[in-house]
Amino acid sequence: MSSPDGTAPPDRPDGTASDETEPKIEDLVHEDAGPTPQFGGLASEHAEHEAAQQPAEVMTESGVEAAGTKATTETGGKLELGPVGHLGDRLFGGLARGSGGLVVLIVAFVGIFLLALAIPALIDDKSSFLFSRIWEPGGDEPRFGIAALFYTTVISSIIAMLIAVPIAIGVALFVTYYAPKRLAAPVAHAVDLLAAVPSIIYGLWGILFFAPILRPVINGLSSALGWIPLFEKPPGDNVGVVFTASVVLAIMILPVVTAISREIFAQTPISHREGALALGATRWEMIRLSVLPYGRSGVVSASMLGLGRALGETVAVLIILSVPNGNDPWNSSIFAGGETFASKIANNAAEFDSPEKTGAYIAAGLVLFVVTFLVNSAARIIVDRSTPGAKRPRRNRRAGAATEGASA
């Protein structure tokens, strides 16, 4: 029975955190800890708030004696500062709440500012912003639309997701249930390292080294499926095509999808797994019957997050995709060049000279923001609405880990 223990991210202090701080508590509880606190109900999360209030009472009522004896020890100082605690709590709590509120404000501001600067340009736009494929901002008659950008962005990201997700599931299963225990952690780290490679390096590597070996694949696919417009081979021999960008994007989102799937798979309750095995299931059947159903919604939301990442990826796509010549007819094939929202904006950063032009690019950025917002919200909602098996019961998991350890 391979246990997922070795595969948990190493930055997690596991259940051993309590051991670490035990000495501290012993210091605190040294002599006489005062009255026995009635924290029986604290195991549930909701008692947390009462807990915030209770200590103050404890202090004032019968903790005085304890405080007196503690004055000689180093913890005494803390207790003497008790009355100030109310101010401290207000200040610190206020800061914490303020930081939480700031996050909400930032996201709101991103939307508001982008919208505010995009609206004037959108009003001046002489063509349909949503359905036009022309991009000629600036001048007396600005004409720009996002249809082509939207298409390339979405198609490249979806292909990336379709390639990355099965591989990510495979890697996650390999790390959690197949790899020898000693190998699992290094393997997990190695996959994480993929996320550490800067995207500009993916771009360089992709266009210089990876695109040439993809060319036979592209030729094969286009000759077999060329009758579908999506796979049509355009004239000319072009390496910087949407498909190449998609494959590189797939490599880039692989660690994201893998990391989340891995974590979810590792959480499958051991009773489910052992139950399946006890019924005579093979390892694959065990995974199909217990691990995959348990992790399904986690994998779906991981895929959505990967999709969101791919939608917004800038530099790698910018380097790989060849910008179509303005005179060429628009081509829907994934074996043609193109531009995504992000690559368009980054490519034309030098053009931000007039508010009208800038507004057009900001409008494109706003659409990208909205699309990633929707995708990420969907990921979140899928997690929230999923079957109970796929929720992530953190507290319970700790309890479960403890019992697992005890039974082992």
Partner 1 sequence: MTAVAENKPAYDGKVLDLTGKSGARAFKNTLATVLIVLAFAVAMIPLLWILFTVVSKGYHLLLSADWWSQSQRGITVRRAGGGAYHAIMGTLIMALITAVIAVPIAILGAVYLVEYGKGTRAAKAVSFMIDILTGVPSIVAALFVYAVWITVFGFNRVGFAVSLSLVLLMLPVVLRSTEEMLKLVPDELREASYALGVPKWKTILKVVVPTAFGGIITGVMLGLARVMGETAPLLILVGYSKNINLNPFDGFMGALPTMINQDRTELALPNAADRVWAAALTLILLVLALNLLARLVARFSTIKSK
Looking only at residues 337 through 376 of this chain, which bind partner 1 when binding is defined by CB under 8 A?
341-342, 345-346, 349, 352, 355, 358, 361-362, 365, 368-369, 372-373, 375-376
Which residues, including other chains, have CB under 8 Å from residue 75's CB and lie 6 or more apart?
A: 27, 28, 30
In the DSSP assignment, the letter for residue 82 is: G
CA dist., res. 254 & res. 239, Å (int): 23
**Cβ–Cβ under 8 Å, residues 241 and 335:** yes
In the complex, what is the shortest distance from the CB of residue 160 to partner 1, in angstroms, rounded to a whole number? 13
Q: Which is nearer to partner 1, 227 or 325 (CB)?
A: 325
Joined together, the tokens standing for residue 40 give: 């029986």
Which residues, including other chains, have CB under 8 Å from residue 78's CB and lie 6 or more apart?
A: none
Applying CB under 8 A, what is the total number of residues that bind partner 1? 157
**CA 299 and chain centroid, separation:** 12
Q: Which is nearer to partner 1, 239 or 281 (CB)?
A: 281
* Residue closest to 175 by CA, chosen among 191, 162, 151, 196: 191
CA dist., res. 84 & res. 88, Å (int): 6
Range 303-342, binding partner 1 (CB under 8 A): 305, 308-309, 311-315, 319, 341-342
CA dist., res. 144 & res. 131, Å (int): 9
Task: Pick the binder of partner 1 from 1, 52, 217, 228 (CB under 8 A).
Answer: 52
User: At residue 295, what is the residue type?
Assistant: G
Residue 162 contacts partner 1 per CB under 8 A: no
In the complex, what is the shortest distance from the CB of residue 25 to partner 1, in angstroms, rounded to a whole number? 5
Residue 188 contacts partner 1 per CB under 8 A: no
Task: Pick the binder of partner 1 from 146, 149, 155, 171 (CB under 8 A).
Answer: 171
Task: Pick the binder of partner 1 from 1, 12, 69, 131 (CB under 8 A).
Answer: 12
Instruction: Choose the binding region for partner 1 from 58-66, 134-142, 216-224, 233-241 (rule: CB under 8 A).
Output: 58-66
Task: Pick the binder of partner 1 from 24, 126, 181, 385 (CB under 8 A).
Answer: 24
Residue 212 contacts partner 1 per CB under 8 A: no
CA dist., res. 373 & res. 281, Å (int): 41
Task: Pick the binder of partner 1 from 200, 224, 225, 230 (CB under 8 A).
Answer: 200
CA dist., res. 246 & res. 239, Å (int): 13
Task: Pick the binder of partner 1 from 41, 198, 220, 229 (CB under 8 A).
Answer: 198
In the DSSP assignment, the letter for residue 41 is: G
Range 264-303, binding partner 1 (CB under 8 A): 269-272, 276, 279-285, 287, 289-290, 293-294
Residue 18 contacts partner 1 per CB under 8 A: yes
Number of helices (H), then strands (E), in the chain = 16, 2
> What mask, x for binding partner 1 by CB under 8 A, covers residues 217 to 256?
----------------------------------x--x--
CA dist., res. 249 & res. 161, Å (int): 8
